[in-house]
Amino acid sequence: MKMNVLLLLLIILLPTQAVAGDIYGNIRSDSEERVRIEVRCNEEIYSTRTDYRGYYRLYIPETGNCEITARLGENWTEPRDLRIYGKAARYDWRIREYNGRYILDED
């Protein structure tokens, strides 16, 4: 009986552990402003801000294909594809202006 309860708990709890991940890294720009970051996964939006050195960390409670955008001042970058895994992953970016648009490039 104890074995069945333990097995049931493992089945219930393990998938919730496997579908979460952190992303972290730096976003660089020519400005010293803090950058707002949004990650869209399915219908959910997760957001954070960089610190004054450009460092960020964001917990995403799901895995799969997502999009990341960043806002510097009043300008948003174009969305970039982002893959969220079930473990922490580092993404370093640089915000560049190109033909009047802001782009998030891998740094």
Q: Which of 36, 96, 42 is nearest to 70 (CA)?
A: 36
Strand 21-28, strand 55-60: pairing: antiparallel
Q: Which residues of the chain have pLDDT under 70?
A: 1-19
Contacts with 31 (C-beta within 8 Å, 6 or more apart), sequence order: 72, 73
Handedness of CA 42, 53, 74, 92 (dihedral sign): negative
Q: What are the domain boundaries of the chain?
A: 20-106
* Cα 12 from Cα 33, distance rounded (Å): 43
pTM for this predicted structure: 0.77
CB 40 within 8 A of CB 67: yes
CATH number of 20-106: 2.60.40.1120
pLDDT 10s digits, 49-67: 999 999 999 999 999 999 9
The pLDDT of residue 1:
62
pLDDT at res. 107: 81
